[in-house]
Amino acid sequence: MQDHTFNTGKEAARTNKPYDSGSLRKKVLQTAASRAKIQGPIGWHTLRHSYRAWLGETGGPLGVQQKLMRHANISTTMNVYGGAFMEAKRKASTSVVQRVLLQHLTK
């Protein structure tokens, strides 16, 4: 069984055929990765993990991230795709500590 991506642009009007995901990966994704100086294997799933990380950096609610990732269960969003970046962890921790200290100092 082959994976296909359906085209809705000018190419579709000309050929009326779906793209093969492998050739699309080679033409588009690999080319973009090379330009960005990303080395090693890259695929659509790599892009998916990056998308989830960028969503996490926005600070958007996990429920929204789950829906955008189209996960049936939020545990998938949190556990499989939820590897938080160190800077995001640091910011979250600092924010909590500052709130606690502020509450303590204002009493």
Q: What is the pLDDT of residue 85?
A: 59
Q: Quick one: pLDDT band at residue 4, thresholds 50, 70, 90?
A: very low
| Cβ neighbour number for residue 31 with a 10 Å cutoff | 11
pLDDT digits (tens, 9 = 90+) for 27-82: 788 888 888 887 888 888 888 888 888 888 888 888 999 999 999 999 888 888 77
Whether the predicted model's global pTM rises above the 0.75 cut? no
Q: What is the pLDDT of residue 1?
A: 44
Q: What is the pLDDT of residue 20?
A: 74
Nearest to 52 by CA among 83, 73, 19: 83
Give me the count of residues in the chain. Answer: 107
**Rounded Cα gap, residues 51 and 10, in angstroms:** 27
First-last CA distance in the chain: 66
DSSP letter at 65 equals H
Q: Quick one: pLDDT band at residue 12, thresholds 50, 70, 90?
A: low
